[in-house]
Chains A and B, each alone.
Chain A
Amino acid sequence: MAVPEAAAQTTAQQFSFTPGRIPVLYKKEGDTLTALRPDPQVDLKRFGKNLCDCKRPYVLNIPALMPNPQASTGNVEIWVGNTCDDISTTNGNRIDRCKQLRTKLLADFANEQNFEFTADEFLLLRDAADQKIKACLAAPGEITFWILVDIGNDGMFEFKDSSLKLGYDGVAPMGATDVKVSSGDGKISLSWSISNNDANQISNGGGYQVYCVKDADTPVLPAGRPAIFIPSCLDPPKGLLDPKYLCTDPVTGGPSALVSGLENNAHYRFAVIAYDRELNPAPLTEMSFVAGTPIPTTDGYELYRMQGGKATGGFCTARPGTGNDGPATEGKGIWLAAGLLAAIGAWTLRSAKRPNRVTNPGESVRGH
């Protein structure tokens, strides 16, 4: 992107962050802060539409400025958007493409500062219709945080930083369709269809969640199974399904899942929800749900025994036979074969003095 003329005139940086420090965005859960950007090289494309809709809290940490600005007059402005340092109208009105989040006195940046936002404050995207930024749009995009130092409040920025960028994608997968059920012994195999676009999204960091419930509305498996939880603003079951009904690990491979540990002949309902890398969940529709009933099945050995097969398994069958359905045997053949083999082995070992042999075509004498 070309640097606007006005911005180019103010590229001289009179300040810098404390050495080794960069702006960091933290996810706030209660009193716990989790850094989303511990490494400046990490791409933060982790924001889906639900995080925006749900107004999840985040904290932006800005390091102290150097040299110490305590004696300076002016402000530090925090903007979010595109080319927010361009105050000219060359690229249109700045307030149409950027939003000013906070302003604080420059002198306060003698120490690091924390600013708390909700996700919908900074997840701003340009609307395709009026080209103005709006919150929580579905279209994928990238958001940049701008930290601008304006000494004397003259609109010229003596310091600016735009290294913190966020990716945003609010486009949810279409979701699983044509969910099929196949019953097994204490298990249900699910398979479904997805669109090509979904397949691309899901293979790029997304997956599927499989929810199970017995007819009596009992969770199939205990809560706390390892699974990706899709955050929802709504209480289940109004919005997404309650995570306590998650019954498999996240499915990240092909469009199929196997739910085991079920009760034979009991009726279950299943739901398959696709999600993309940004945890945008596919909408729940009638096609997401399916019913199934595990049933006993027969394997090869069961069938063999049912039809009168005598082999009961076990080892060391050189001893007399112990088959429950057949006559006991003495296992003489095994001993006879072993004895014969021992005799042959002894004879061959006794004769093991190898003469010189031809090993190559054309040689008169073989190797040693």
Chain B
Amino acid sequence: MATSRRWGLSAGRIGILAAVAGFLTTLWSPAALARSESLMSNYSSPQNFVLELRLGPYRPEIDSEFNGAAKPYDTMFGGGAGFYFGTEFDWQIFDFFGTLGIGGQLGFVSQSAQALTGDGMRSSADGVGFRMLPMALLLVYRLDEIALRVPWLPFVPYGKVGLNYNIWWFTQGNGDIANGFSPSGQPGRGLGDTWGYSLACGLSFMIDALDPGARTTMDADYGINHTYVFFEYNRVFANGLSRTDALRVGDSTWLAGLAFEF
């Protein structure tokens, strides 16, 4: 009792610590490992890479440039989001209770609308659009140790940080690249690039935990160690970094997709 008071531990706190310790012991206990071994084959091919297929909504925050004074993107394309589809490839180069990898992303963003006529109506003859090829160079950390050691907890949280480069273009009614003039008559072309950076965090669910036998087969036949479905929150700060005349094409969005480790 005296010792407990000296360390400031109440009986309740001791109980919680004991429970946590017991839980951790259970995770890495020989019994748990043996149980896992009974479910799964020991075969495992080398694991070095991750391939992700990603999709989700995307709405470039172009109107943020105007600080509420105007909303040209909203006026043209409405309040909805466009469509993002992309892929990511990571090289897992370091292990520390998970994997640290460097990777690259390439995607495509598309949003379309009917052109505006002079009276503010929509022309069904002229479809216009905004397109973008978002690219990124990433550092990715995936905390997969728990999922690998605890078969009944097959979740892998992860985080990403990256340098982004986005090629964007606007299309006019005939499909060509759009051109536009500022109120002072300065010309511009609706094709350019914007640098930025991004942060992302997400949670992957290890699908093969549902069927260890299939995982072994996938690994043996195709070298795929694990398959995940994931949900990711992505914050892209694509404002040209230090430039003030960049098109702001970043967004806060969520993505979902499939990932394969091999």
Contact = CB atoms under 8 A, between A and B. Distances in A.
30 contacts: A184-B115, A185-B123, A185-B173, A189-B124, A299-B76, A300-B170, A301-B178, A303-B180, A306-B72, A307-B72, A308-B69, A309-B62, A309-B72, A309-B188, A311-B246, A312-B188, A314-B193, A315-B192, A317-B194, A321-B243, A323-B243, A325-B182, A329-B244, A337-B195, A354-B93, A360-B40, A361-B148, A362-B35, A362-B37, A366-B44
B29 interface: no
Given A313-B189, A361-B149, A341 B245 contact: no
Interface stretch (A224-232, A271-279, A344-352): A344-352
A327 interface: yes
Contacts of B150: 361
A325 B73 contact: no
Contacts of B147: 361
A187 B93 contact: no
Contacts of A70: none
Contact of B195 (A184, A306, A333): A333
Nearest to B70: A307
Given A315-B193, A333-B195, A363-B44, 18 more contacts: A182-B124, A184-B115, A188-B125, A258-B125, A297-B116, A299-B126, A299-B190, A300-B77, A300-B190, A303-B72, A308-B182, A315-B192, A329-B244, A351-B93, A359-B225, A361-B154, A364-B33, A367-B46
B187 interface: yes
Interface of A: 182-189, 258, 260, 295-318, 321-327, 329-334, 336-338, 341, 344-345, 348-349, 351-352, 354-355, 357-364, 366-368
Contact of A301 (B37, B42, B149, B179): B179
B26 interface: no
Contact of A367 (B47, B170, B189, B242): B47
Report whether over half of chain B's contact residues are helix, strand or loop; otherwise say mixed. mixed
Contacts of B95: 354-355, 357, 366
Interface string B97-137: 00110100000000001011110000111101110000001
Interface in B172-202: 172-174, 178-184, 186-195, 197
Contacts of B23: none
A308 B73 CA distance: 12
B118 A296 contact: yes
A302 B36 CA distance: 61
Given A295-B117, A299-B170, A312 B189 contact: yes
Nearest to A323: B245
Contact of A305 (B35, B154, B188, B226): B188
Contact of B242 (A304, A330, A338, A361): A330
List 6 A-B pairs, minimum CB-CB distance, nearest first. Answer: A323-B245, A362-B36, A184-B125, A333-B241, A305-B180, A301-B190
A292 B13 CA distance: 81
Interface in B61-98: 62, 65-66, 69-70, 72-73, 75-77, 92-95
B178 A302 contact: yes
